[in-house]
């Protein structure tokens, strides 16, 4: 996929001003925000950092900031679009989060889930090379119309 | 029973025609019992829900009306936000509205639909879906009537399409994972 053609494809997707103004850590998070905006679902990007591990002095050693919070559903969403074998560490964090904060609702969308979601909306995907951080990008192909 | 699929991308029958017919009859019976004496209107979202609605309304032994909506979907070329592309023909204020869906997946479309219809002040608003695929549910919404829970597979048939095709097959089939996995 060339840089130029990728931009051509992205230009066809609706992007809100808010998404355009937000700096996302990964392109897949940007696509997810676009989808939420399209369906008028209120979202906040990485609004909360949950401490998960402390040293004896009470300093935070490990923390976790889920990607999105959806106030309407009181739900955190974490996108894990890296290769499945690399998600063990993140799974451990989410497990710990649930132990420490049992009232928090969090859902993980794995690479497979995200691929299926993009397919559903007629958005083809391409895997990014590990040297580019891994994960998924919207890819270029004939745009579908029936989502 | 062996089925010859009309499309090689179909994988296996998830629910046979008999199972679908049985689920529709069961749901029709439940709705008949719950809505007796009420002012029922069934609303579905085109195009997927039309087949299910056609059968379900005939399994409900009550006076009722039907109405249809169409809603834009996210994707290349879509406008900036979801919008109604075909609105209801009749007002629903004060009526008992039952949304009839072929499948609920992420719940994002249904979430929008519920928000829109609530503003029109129906007497009640409930949801009936033939298929409930909750593996990737984002908008967790109440579903009063459910035909089947389905695994996280793409499905086709009985209103559900693949590139516009196969809505007319009488069973529900899963699609080969190659369809989305490249």
Per-residue pLDDT of A56-70, as tens digits, reads 999 999 999 999 999
**A100-114, B20-34, B44-58: lowest mean pLDDT where?**
A100-114
Among A29, A23, A24, A6, CA closest to A80: A29
pLDDT, mean of residues B166-170? 94
CB interface of B with A, residues 56-95, below 8 Å:
73-82
Residue with tokens 């300093």: A59
Answer whether B145's CB lies under 8 Å from B126's CB: yes
- Give dist(CA A122, CA A143) in Å, integer: 6
Contact A16 B163 (CB under 8 A): no
Give the pLDDT of residue A119. Answer: 80
| B140 is known as an active-site residue | no
- Give dist(CA B160, CA B32) in Å, integer: 25
Q: Is residue B91 pLDDT above 50, yes or no?
A: yes
Bigger pLDDT: A57 vs A89 = A57
For residue B180, give the nearest of A16, A109, A119 by CB distance: A119
Contact A145 B77 (CB under 8 A): yes
Host H or E run for residue A49:
none
Decide: helix, strand or coil at residue A135: coil
Give the pLDDT of residue A145. Answer: 30
Q: Is residue A28 pLDDT above 60, yes or no?
A: yes
Contact B78 A14 (CB under 8 A): yes
Q: Which residue of B has its CA nearest to A75?
A: B138
Give the pLDDT of residue A120. Answer: 78
Give the pLDDT of residue B136. Answer: 81
Q: Could you say which of B96, B102, B105, B132 is catalytic?
A: B105
Give the pLDDT of residue B181. Answer: 65
CA atoms within 13 A on the CB side of B127: 23
Among A68, A66, A86, CA closest to A127: A86
- Most confident range (mean pLDDT) of A22-26, A80-84, B153-157 is B153-157
Give the pLDDT of residue B31. Answer: 98
Q: Is residue A138 pLDDT above 60, yes or no?
A: no
Give the pLDDT of residue B159. Answer: 95
Answer whether B67's CB lies under 8 Å from B90's CB: yes
Q: Is residue B116 pLDDT above 60, yes or no?
A: yes
Give the pLDDT of residue A139. Answer: 43
What's the pLDDT tens digit per position in B12-44?
999 999 999 999 999 999 999 999 999 999 999
Q: Is residue B102 pLDDT above 80, yes or no?
A: yes
- Give dist(CA A23, CA A18) in Å, integer: 10
Among A68, A14, A9, A20, CA closest to A38: A14
Give the pLDDT of residue B4. Answer: 87
CA atoms within 13 A on the CB side of B80: 6
pLDDT band at A141 (very low <50, low <70, confident <90, very high): very low
Residues of chain A in contact with residue B139, where contact means CB-CB under 8 angstroms, are 41, 70, 72-73
């Amino acid at each position: 996929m060339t840089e130029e053609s990728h931009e051509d494809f992205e230009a066809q997707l609706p992007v809100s001003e808010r998404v355009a103004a937000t700096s996302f850590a990964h392109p897949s998070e940007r696509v997810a925000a676009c989808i939420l905006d399209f369906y008028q679902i209120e979202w906040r990007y990485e609004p909360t950092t949950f401490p998960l591990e402390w040293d004896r002095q009470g300093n935070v050693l490990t923390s976790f900031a889920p990607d999105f919070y959806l106030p309407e559903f009181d739900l955190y969403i974490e996108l894990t679009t890296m290769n499945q074998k690399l998600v063990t560490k993140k799974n451990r964090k989410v497990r710990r989060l649930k132990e420490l904060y049992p009232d928090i609702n969090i859902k993980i969308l794995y690479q497979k889930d995200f691929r299926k979601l993009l397919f559903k909306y007629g958005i083809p995907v391409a895997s990014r090379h590990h040297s580019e951080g891994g994960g998924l990008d919207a890819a270029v192909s004939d745009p579908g119309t029936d989502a | 029973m062996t089925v010859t699929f009309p499309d090689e991308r179909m994988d296996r029958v998830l629910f046979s025609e008999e199972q679908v017919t049985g689920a529709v009859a069961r749901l029709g019976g439940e709705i008949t019992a719950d809505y007796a004496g009420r002012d029922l209107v069934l609303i579905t979202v085109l195009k997927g829900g039309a087949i299910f609605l056609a059968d379900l309304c005939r399994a409900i032994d009550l006076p009722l009306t039907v109405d249809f909506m169409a809603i834009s979907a996210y994707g290349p070329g879509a406008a900036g936000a979801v919008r109604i592309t075909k609105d209801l023909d009749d007002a629903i204020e004060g009526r008992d509205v039952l949304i009839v869906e072929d499948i609920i997946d992420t719940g994002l479309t249904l979430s929008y639909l519920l928000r829109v219809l609530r503003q029109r002040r129906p007497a009640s608003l409930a949801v009936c879906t033939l298929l409930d695929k909750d593996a990737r549910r984002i908008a967790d919404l109440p579903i009063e009537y459910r035909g089947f829970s389905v695994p996280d597979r793409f499905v086709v048939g009985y209103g559900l399409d693949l590139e516009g095709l196969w809505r007319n097959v009488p069973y529900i089939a899963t699609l080969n994972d190659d369809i989305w996995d490249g």
